[in-house]
Amino acid sequence: MHSEYLANLEMLMEIPIFAGLPIEPLKLLTYLCTKESFKPGEILCHQYEVDAHAYLILEGRVSVLLEEESERVLGEFGRGEFFGGLSLFWDSKRLFTLKAESRVVCLMLSREKFQKTMEQFPSMGTIVFRNIAERIHDWEQRFLGEHGRKCPQCRSGLGVTLI
């Protein structure tokens, strides 16, 4: 197999929502991804837009921005980081803008190709949904631990995990 394909496959295997998937659907997902490059200053996705792609950063750094706050930078993503996974399931609006801070190369997976893969390998849906539920639960547990006692308003907005 081509070394770039194998490197991309290994990176997909590291994405938490794909953890535990059998190798065959992972190989197909790797094959179906497209590679896109972005120049410094280019926008990968805009806040509030519906984008039917998930992104895996292969190289470079992107800033996470809130546009309505004069492009306030919330953080950065870099090599190996995956975002937009929920867009593989529905028309979710982006909660932030991503802007390339350097030359950025991403693997992009479209909802259409992901869902076709799930049709071909129906058992992967159970694994992916379990992984997503675990990540939401872990996030909420960390959030409560960090903010729950100090911020009553934060507590009232929780309940994502329904537990």
User: How confident is the model at residue 145, as a pLDDT?
Assistant: 76
Question: Residue 68's pLDDT is what?
Answer: 75
Determine the longest span between alpha carbons in the chain, in angstroms.
Answer: 54
- pLDDT of 28: 96
For 86-108, what is each residue's pLDDT tens digit?
A: 899 999 899 999 999 999 999 99
Question: Residue 54: left (phi > 0), alpha (psi -120 to 50), or beta?
Answer: beta
Residue with the two structure tokens 């937009």: 84
Band (pLDDT 50/70/90 cuts) for residue 123 is: very high
Residue 159: predicted pLDDT: 60
pLDDT in tens, 58-84: 999 999 998 876 777 889 999 999 999
pLDDT at 1 over 70: no
| Nearest residue to 139 (alpha-carbon basis) of 152, 158, 156 | 158
Q: Which amino acid is at 155?
A: R
pLDDT for the residue numbered 158: 63
Q: Are 157 and 143 in contact (CB under 8 A)?
A: no
For residue range 5-64, what is the model confidence (pLDDT) as tens digits?
Answer: 999 999 999 999 999 999 999 999 999 999 999 999 999 999 999 999 999 999 999 999
Of the candidate CATH numbers 3.60.15.10, 3.30.420.40, 2.60.120.10, 3.30.450.30, the domain formed by 3-120 belongs to 2.60.120.10
Looking at per-residue pLDDT, the higher value among 156 and 66 belongs to 66
Domain ranges in the chain are 3-120, 122-163
Nearest Cα to Cα of residue 147 among 81, 91, 139: 139
pLDDT score of 142: 83
Which has the closest alpha carbon to 60: 6, 99, 114, 25?
99
Instruction: Write down the residue that tokens 């870099």 correspond to.
Output: 78
pLDDT at 37: 98
Q: How far is CA 81 from CA 98, 105, 111, 140, 153, in A?
A: 13, 12, 18, 20, 30
Give 140's contacts (C-beta < 8 A, 6+ positions apart): 158, 160, 161
